[in-house]
Amino acid sequence: MSVSDGFGGGRCGRSPLVLITSWAWNDLLFSLLYLKHKSMQTLTLAMQGFIGTRGDTRWGPMMAMSVLMALPMMALSYYGQRCFTEGFTLSGVKG
Protein backbone atom coordinates (compact mmCIF):
# COMPACT_ATOMS: atom_id res chain seq x y z
CA MET A 1 0.00 0.00 0.00
CA SER A 2 1.63 3.23 -1.12
CA VAL A 3 1.03 6.41 0.79
CA SER A 4 1.53 9.92 -0.51
CA ASP A 5 1.28 13.49 0.73
CA GLY A 6 -1.35 14.35 -1.86
CA PHE A 7 1.01 15.90 -4.36
CA GLY A 8 3.46 13.14 -5.21
CA GLY A 9 2.83 9.82 -6.82
CA GLY A 10 1.04 6.89 -5.35
CA ARG A 11 -2.58 6.20 -4.73
CA CYS A 12 -3.49 9.71 -3.59
CA GLY A 13 -1.29 11.69 -5.95
CA ARG A 14 -4.34 12.90 -7.83
CA SER A 15 -5.63 15.20 -5.07
CA PRO A 16 -4.92 18.42 -7.00
CA LEU A 17 -6.80 16.90 -9.91
CA VAL A 18 -9.93 16.77 -7.77
CA LEU A 19 -9.69 20.51 -7.05
CA ILE A 20 -8.93 21.50 -10.62
CA THR A 21 -11.78 19.38 -11.96
CA SER A 22 -14.29 20.91 -9.56
CA TRP A 23 -13.16 24.44 -10.43
CA ALA A 24 -13.48 23.76 -14.16
CA TRP A 25 -16.82 21.99 -13.71
CA ASN A 26 -18.38 25.00 -12.01
CA ASP A 27 -16.79 27.68 -14.20
CA LEU A 28 -19.40 30.00 -15.68
CA LEU A 29 -17.30 32.98 -16.77
CA PHE A 30 -15.04 31.12 -19.21
CA SER A 31 -17.93 29.44 -20.99
CA LEU A 32 -19.97 32.64 -21.00
CA LEU A 33 -17.18 34.61 -22.68
CA TYR A 34 -15.74 32.12 -25.16
CA LEU A 35 -18.41 29.58 -26.11
CA LYS A 36 -20.90 31.12 -28.52
CA HIS A 37 -22.55 28.04 -30.10
CA LYS A 38 -25.32 26.27 -28.22
CA SER A 39 -23.85 22.89 -29.15
CA MET A 40 -20.68 23.75 -27.19
CA GLN A 41 -22.42 24.98 -24.02
CA THR A 42 -21.40 23.62 -20.66
CA LEU A 43 -24.00 22.52 -18.13
CA THR A 44 -23.42 25.61 -16.02
CA LEU A 45 -24.16 27.87 -18.96
CA ALA A 46 -27.20 25.82 -19.96
CA MET A 47 -28.62 26.45 -16.48
CA GLN A 48 -29.11 30.08 -17.47
CA GLY A 49 -31.68 28.96 -20.02
CA PHE A 50 -34.09 28.24 -17.18
CA ILE A 51 -34.07 31.88 -16.10
CA GLY A 52 -36.47 34.03 -18.12
CA THR A 53 -36.00 37.67 -19.07
CA ARG A 54 -38.83 38.89 -16.87
CA GLY A 55 -38.07 36.81 -13.82
CA ASP A 56 -40.20 33.84 -14.83
CA THR A 57 -37.80 31.17 -13.66
CA ARG A 58 -38.70 27.53 -14.24
CA TRP A 59 -37.71 26.26 -10.80
CA GLY A 60 -38.60 22.60 -11.20
CA PRO A 61 -36.37 21.81 -14.21
CA MET A 62 -33.66 24.11 -12.86
CA MET A 63 -33.48 22.27 -9.54
CA ALA A 64 -33.56 18.88 -11.25
CA MET A 65 -30.64 19.88 -13.49
CA SER A 66 -28.68 21.28 -10.55
CA VAL A 67 -29.02 17.99 -8.68
CA LEU A 68 -27.83 16.05 -11.73
CA MET A 69 -24.92 18.47 -12.12
CA ALA A 70 -23.90 18.03 -8.49
CA LEU A 71 -23.80 14.22 -8.49
CA PRO A 72 -20.45 13.79 -10.34
CA MET A 73 -18.76 16.37 -8.11
CA MET A 74 -20.16 14.70 -5.00
CA ALA A 75 -18.73 11.38 -6.12
CA LEU A 76 -15.37 12.98 -6.95
CA SER A 77 -15.18 14.78 -3.61
CA TYR A 78 -16.08 11.56 -1.79
CA TYR A 79 -13.13 9.87 -3.49
CA GLY A 80 -10.81 12.83 -2.93
CA GLN A 81 -11.69 13.30 0.73
CA ARG A 82 -9.72 10.25 1.78
CA CYS A 83 -6.67 11.45 -0.13
CA PHE A 84 -6.86 14.97 1.31
CA THR A 85 -7.20 13.68 4.85
CA GLU A 86 -4.34 11.27 4.33
CA GLY A 87 -2.17 14.04 2.90
CA PHE A 88 -2.81 16.40 5.81
CA THR A 89 -2.06 13.78 8.43
CA LEU A 90 1.18 12.72 6.74
CA SER A 91 2.46 16.24 6.08
CA GLY A 92 2.55 17.19 9.75
CA VAL A 93 0.35 20.28 9.42
CA LYS A 94 -0.98 21.15 12.83
CA GLY A 95 -4.21 23.04 13.23
Using pLDDT thresholds of 50, 70 and 90, give the confidence band for residue 67.
Answer: very high
Q: What is the mean pLDDT of the segment spanning 67-86?
A: 82
Q: Which pLDDT score, from 0 to 100, does residue 5 have?
A: 44
**How many domains, in total, are found in the chain?**
1
Q: Is residue 66 part of a domain?
A: yes
- Residues 16 and 36: their CA atoms lie apart, in Å, by 30
pLDDT band of 14, cuts 50, 70, 90: low
Domain extent, residue 27, equals: 15-87
Section 15-26 average pLDDT: 74
Report CA-CA distances (Å) from 81 to 19, 30, 32, 72: 11, 27, 30, 14
In a domain, 72, yes or no: yes
Inside any domain, residue 4: no
**Pairwise CA distance, residues 33 & 49, whole Å:** 16
Could you tell me if residue 28 is inside a domain? yes
Which amino acid type is present at position 41?
Q
pTM (whole model) above 0.75: no
